Chains A and B, each alone.
Chain A
Amino acid sequence: MTLSKRNILSLSLTDKRLARLLGGCALLAALVVVLILGFLLGESWPVLHHAPLTHFFTDASWHPTQHLYNVMPMLTATLLSSLGALLLAGPLGIASGLFMHYYAPPRLAGVYRRLIELLAGIPSVVYGFWGLVTLAPLVGRLHPPGVSLLTAILVLALMVLPTVALIADAALAAIPAAYLRGAAALGLSRWGMIAGVALPAARTGLVSGLLLATGRALGETMAVLMVAGNAVQQPHSLFDSVRTLTANIALEMAYAMGDHRAALFVSGLALMLLVLILVGMADVFQRKATYA
């Protein structure tokens, strides 16, 4: 297709009005993102202004009132917990999608899909509460204190699982039936068809599901805050208590003032940049996949 949709539409007067209205709405949405970014930059400025960015990585510790701004422990905790959650929820979510499409009888698949959707609808504070009351003591039995990086990973994995599973489900549903018929006509086994044809055909959707899930895991605050222990320290094992960037903002914003407050906004800015990088990666991947 070389024609763009815009060129093949000749607009009537009503269409033009509608186009202007829709354009206005789109502009508003885009403007909000720019405003948020501007606001974050503005609020971070006091500390960025007199403390160079390297402070955030090389300072001795996180004591903003004493002008020590090392966010590395929290950045590490955020990245590790998201990565761990993704490593658990990614394969599980894709496996759920495959199960719904290729293995489960239709009725069971329908029930299973509803359950996954329900899982997506549970408020994060409920996950956190459950994690604190049930999961943390179990982890604590393995290795005290229980509230730890591992607990955070497990709760996060459970929370992003429905995202991965539902997007995998949609991606697999979009595979043309002709591929499956063609694969069957070549005598491919069910697994041969899945691994050889279905997964490659759905890879764009699967990867964007994983990236969305990562975004959600990076930004999750409440549940992680409740189960991660919130000690500001570089984690050395899965059982260490950690504090993520988001939890840090939530914990300290109530009493932070001056440079401390600005430093919290810097960590917010860092989170936003992480998500931006993710979106950029998804975009590049999508482009490459469409070409292939």
Chain B
Amino acid sequence: MTTNTSNTSHCADNGNPPEHAYTLGPLQVGPPCCDPEPLLRVDNLSLHYADKIALENISLAIYRGCITALIGPSGCGKTSFLSSLNRLTDMIPGCRVSGSIRFDGLDVRSPNLDVQHLRRDIGMIFQKPVPFPLSIRRNIELPLREHGMRSQAEINDRLQEVLRDVGLWDEVRERLETPAQALSGGQQQRLCIARALALQPKVLLMDEPCSALDPIASAVVEDLISRLQGRYTIVIVTHNLAQARRIANYAALFWMQERGGRLIEFGRCQQVFEAPAHRLTAAYVNGQRG
């Protein structure tokens, strides 16, 4: 296993160094990835479902403000890895996690941790958009109220802000009270992203956010994700290698080994795709395996 976290000065993408890196800035701010600082650090993470091993000995760092793409064939534990970061694995009966996950100095696996607060800081987007069977407005209002925002004016401001951020405002401003489930698939996914953004998370976990969408909606969402870069730390699972290559700063290849899913290679996106250190990576990114 080769784990490459080398700290080259090259930026995989458009980044001018931002003025206020690591804070909520304007959307177009580039990623502060030239000076990587880990926000999430995973060490020796293993994950079991009952007696089956899903992940074994995963160690990697998720850098602040960057997009990290998790790639690899289906069933190699990418989604399980994602769910362990916000403790959604707690909801799965028989799921055991070992190893260490540190988020911003916090021990994610600590039993005393306020999980609700953790999930507020680490938002998650699922493959299939899950708007609740409520109005568009209620969908965004619900988590805000739950996390203690009471003033309607404040809620309206935040609602408008996040809907603008995901480019949905002009499409839905006239029908905020209509059912969210009447939106198209792409709009639903953007609403879900807006709902997660409304809580001003530090990290967004995205589990194949485009794979249930048609190519055009998928392009819109992908564009949105790359605009979020720098403002949020993003971990994205994707089967679309071209997409990973376009938007990610870092890439991690997971692979199913005989004992469970393992991390084969981790490094800067460009390096993983253009100069892979492991033969499996080379085969996978060139479309010969997986």
Contact = CB atoms under 8 A, between A and B. Distances in A.
B113 interface: no
A184 B132 contact: no
19 contacts: A176-B130, A178-B126, A181-B126, A182-B126, A182-B130, A184-B119, A185-B88, A185-B126, A186-B123, A186-B146, A186-B199, A187-B116, A187-B117, A187-B119, A187-B199, A188-B142, A196-B132, A196-B146, A197-B142
Contacts of A188: 116, 142-143, 146
Interface residues on B, range: 20 to 34
A45 B91 CA distance: 63
Given A187-B147, A201-B132, A181 B142 contact: no
A196 B132 CA distance: 9
Interface string A159-201: 0000000000000000010111111111111001000110011
B66 interface: no
A179 B132 contact: yes
Given A178-B128, A201-B132, A292-B179, A185 B142 contact: no
Interface of B: 86, 88, 91, 115-120, 123-124, 126, 128, 130, 132-134, 142-143, 146-147, 179, 192, 195-196, 199
B145 to A, nearest CB: 8
Contacts, number: 69
B88 A196 contact: no
* Majority secondary structure of chain A interface residues (helix, strand, loop or mixed): helix
A185 B199 contact: no
Given A192-B146, A197-B142, A184 B91 contact: yes
A187 B196 contact: no
Given A181-B91, A182-B126, A197-B142, A187 B132 contact: no
B195 A186 contact: yes
Contacts of B120: 186-187
Contacts of A192: 142, 146
Contacts of A180: 91
Nearest to A196: B142
Interface string A122-143: 0000000000000000000000
